[in-house]
Amino acid sequence: MDKKMIDGVPLPVPSVIQGATPLFGQTLVEEPHRLLDDVFSAGINAFDSGLTYADENGSCDERLGKWVTTRGVRDDVTIIGKGCHPGPPDWSASRVLPENVSKDISISCNRMGVDQIDLWLFHRDDERVPVPELVDAVSLEVSKGTICAWGVSNWSFTRLEEAVNYAQENDLTPPSATSPHFSLVDQIDAPWPGVTTITGGNHSDERDWFAQNQMPVLAWSSLASGFLTSSYDPNLSTFSETVRCYGSTENMNRRERAISLAAEKGCGLEQVSVAYILAAPFPTFATCAARTLSEAEKNVEASGIVLTSDEYSWLQGSQ
């Protein structure tokens, strides 16, 4: 599988990153360590986590960290953590504050049983908080060695650009990556408050900025909450939120084109959808939450599918 360097991150990062959802909450798998063993054996050695990814019995941080330490693979994996996200008791209250950066990184490290997180992201943004204050706080954590690199999730590209410029002008550590929603289909309604997307015609300027600056993009919801899977059925209640966020005629047309191209290439819809993300004109990584060895292997195979420029444009519907 293709791997790319992200500034500051010790290891090359695979094009497919293992998502966090199988490690907490209602989507927790029965045997988390066995799943992580399978994902690792398939060739995926980068794992997404986050401070708020938790349930009453534990957290993604804890389950991932325990696997890393018991297997003795700390030097062989890339750990991606996130913080400064709203949490209990008030999930609507912003926590994007300089003083929460060190606090949240410390909590995640303690839960995981590690001394350092390879890539840490602001999980949300609050545009009322000046960018320099946040850059100062997170750059300090890099200098202390608690994190190797930092980035943002669900920040506008204007705030991201401001962070890059401020860091460079003040000899601080600039953000190394950003994590918005990015997939073949447009997000017609936000799944949660405070998230960002770079899909669709309204975000072409942002994609141009990423291409110009070659900023790595860690795409979340690569398969659009199941819309780009073979099991998608808009008539099932389990997909009601998927329909709300992605159920447009244009998106369905893109899905049908992806199904057609997958048939030509002898692969699945999911694999073409991942290949589309990885064919973008800027460094991209697809976050995919495999739940079985088979799914992990298919995600790895998807990273090897090369789309021509004509195929890429046709999937978008621009030809």
Q: Which residue has the tokens 């088979």?
A: 294
250-300 residue pLDDT tens: 999 999 999 999 999 999 999 999 999 999 999 999 999 999 999 999 999
Mean model confidence pLDDT for the chain: 96
Q: Global pTM?
A: 0.96
Print the domain residue range for 281: 3-316
Contact, 83 vs 108, CB < 8 A?
A: yes
Where residue 279 sits, what CATH number does that domain have? 3.20.20.100
Find residue 220's DSSP bridge partners: 181
The 10s digit of each residue's pLDDT in 29-38 is 999 999 999 9
Q: Which two tokens stand for residue 183?
A: 């997939």
What pLDDT band is residue 318 in, cutting at 50, 70 and 90? low
- pLDDT grade for 1, boundaries at 50, 70 and 90: confident
Q: Residue 311 — pLDDT band, cuts 50, 70, 90?
A: very high
Q: Give pLDDT tens digits for 121-161.
A: 999 999 999 999 999 999 999 999 999 999 999 999 999 99
Q: In sequence order, what are the residues at sequence separation of 6 or more whose Cβ sits closer than 8 angstroms to the Cβ of residue 82?
A: 49, 50, 51, 52, 120, 121, 122, 123, 153
Report how many domains make up the chain: 1
